[in-house]
Amino acid sequence: MEGLMQDWPLLVHTVLDHASTYHGDREIVSRTVEGPIHRYTYKDLERRSRKLASACSKLGVKNGDIIGTMAWNGYRHMEAWYGIMGIGAVVHTLNPRLFADQLDYIVNHAEDQHFFLDLSFVPILEGLQDRLPSIKSFIIMTDEEHMPETTLRNVTCFETLVEGGDDDFSWPSFDENTACGMCYTSGTTGNPKGVLYSHRSNVLHALAAGQGDAVNLKSLDCVMPVVPMFHANAWSFVFSAPMAGAKMVMPGPLMDGASIYELLDTEAVNLTAAVPTVWLMLLQHLEETKKPLPKLDRVVIGGSACPPAMIEAFEKNYDTQVIHAWGMTEMSPLGSLCTFKGGLDHLSEDQLWEIKKKQGRPPYMVEMKITDDDGNVLPRDGVAFGHLSVRGPAIARAYFKSEGGEILDADGFFDTGDVSTLDEYGYMGITDRSKDVIKSGGEWISSIDLENLAVGHPDVAEAAVIGVAHPKWDERPLLICVVKEGCSPSKQDILEFMTGKIAKWWMPDDVAFIDEIPHTATGKISKLELRKSFVDYELPTAQAAE
């Protein structure tokens, strides 16, 4: 027997309608590429997104068309998302930090029809346009006054485009499974692969993200997503914040410590989110300037492992709760968030700290399992670690154009490529990326654990650990450090600091100091680059073993 509830498709414009109707006066504050701070409300966002949707329809954008964007977090980019998605077209966000060849591949693979870009990215697209035959026009996200001289062909000014849209345009209705967003995974091997979000998956994911034990979003919050809208669906904030009616602060192009601090302070932001490298810059800025952080009550940190020293710095020095989160582009992207749950009262402070360092628990709508190399499910005892697979309605079931073939196992689980533990309380701890784990004498050493420990040394700013070939053990860990300005610890200092805190056989065989650790376009440590740089590195222990 069928239930008798209404068939109300989960379309993303319904989120905007809700925000405009019930939180119409809540502000969206943006640092613009042109310079000044811009402010308006959800009512304005909704009105202008509809006008833009109407203008895009007039431009010939149809249901199913893929439209590229390369833009910072700001109100015009949000309008582009809602306006394009609202007519059944797909927003394809591009990461400007990718190399030209990757961008070229991605735009051509997706066959982007039109392209929205911020002023900052005009030179990139000018250089690429001859290699992008599918693009019919470029829309520069500024007003007529700031339109640049450009060699881009078929250029439109965003504000002029919006002006041409109809005020009385109303959103069309269509199937909630219609695609609405697209993001290519960085992929350390092979070509990038397109992940295609649907209206339904984005709405469900936003509901999951907002839950009390997840990000805990409320209308009283003032949220600053520093995580870019071109990285993994901006961790859902473009949907989850309006859904809750929270005030939004969009940082635009400036993500250095001083600029981020300025917005946190002047806009009274109480919730923010980004990768650890952003928080490294903020914490350094706070240390140097001795400034307080009184209004920020929680910070979501993910995208790569949050070092425990960073959790301590925020929680102990600034009384800001860290919510350590894990996820991936394929998961919309949130997969787990670390907040304490009921029933842990019997645990000691040390035991709670062990939990706090983990990547957390999945919200409703994410199922997890860990398996061994043969696919056998491993126990949830916090000790056994294996391949982490996930299942849920906001998790990819295939890549765009079937790249990579079948990606689910017989039970419908997606292999994340991460190795992790699951404990009896439901908390997941990432051991490593399966490609990065160090295989020493048939046993596995977690590079993340070693990195977390090394950055706890007061002189170390950033650390990375890679496996280096070893004649006896196959691979042994090499610790690579960037030291804080004015510090010059010796190898021995750092190894002594680590001694006793990890199993003896996990101790790095050597320490190398470099000026800068290479990062990927999404802010992760690039182990690929490091492995290339250290390919011929000879460990001191290698000679002894020969």
> Which residues here bind ligand AMP, judged by CB under 6 A?
185-186, 232, 302-306, 324-329, 333, 359, 416-418, 430, 433, 522
CB 272 within 8 A of CB 245: no
> Which pair of tokens denotes residue 43?
């009512």
Indicate the residue among 12 and 183 with the shorter CB distance to ligand AMP. Answer: 183
| Helices (H) then strands (E): counts for the chain | 17, 24
Q: Is 473 in the active site?
A: no
- Which of these is catalytic: 46, 79, 330, 475? 330
- Which of these is catalytic: 93, 185, 320, 431? 185
Indicate the residue among 355 and 430 with the shorter CB distance to ligand AMP. Answer: 430
Least distance to ligand AMP, CB of residue 3, Å: 36
The residues, any chain, with a CB within 8 Å of residue 482's CB and separated by 6 or more, are 460, 461, 462, 463, 513, 514, 515, 516, 517
Q: Which of 75, 383, 395 is nearest to 238 (CA)?
A: 75
Least distance to ligand AMP, CB of residue 359, Å: 5
Q: 422 phi and psi, to 5 degrees?
A: -130, 135
Kindly provide the b/e burial profile for residues 377-407, where b requires at least 16 CB atoms within 10 angstroms of the residue's own CB: ebebebeebbbbbbbbebbbebbbeebeeeb
Indicate the residue among 185 and 339 with the shorter CB distance to ligand AMP. Answer: 185
- Which of these is catalytic: 43, 262, 444, 529? 444
Q: Is 444 in the active site?
A: yes
The residues, any chain, with a CB within 8 Å of residue 244's CB and separated by 6 or more, are 210, 217, 218, 219, 221
Q: Which of 237, 313, 254, 240 is nearest to 279 (CA)?
A: 313
Indicate the residue among 45 and 428 with the shorter CB distance to ligand AMP. Answer: 428
- Which of these is catalytic: 439, 472, 501, 532? 439
Indicate the residue among 329 and 526 with the shorter CB distance to ligand AMP. Answer: 329
Least distance to ligand AMP, CB of residue 460, Å: 19
Residue 254, CA atoms < 13 Å, CB-side half-sphere: 17
Least distance to ligand AMP, CB of residue 436, Å: 8
Indicate the residue among 147 and 528 with the shorter CB distance to ligand AMP. Answer: 528
Q: Is 51 in the active site?
A: no
Token match 């000879």: residue? Answer: 538
Q: Which of 9, 331, 7, 78 is nearest to 197 (CA)?
A: 331
Least distance to ligand AMP, CB of residue 225, Å: 14
Residue 26 CA to residue 238 CA, distance in Å, equals 14
Least distance to ligand AMP, CB of residue 335, Å: 8
What amino acid positions are annotated as catalytic residues?
185, 330, 439, 444
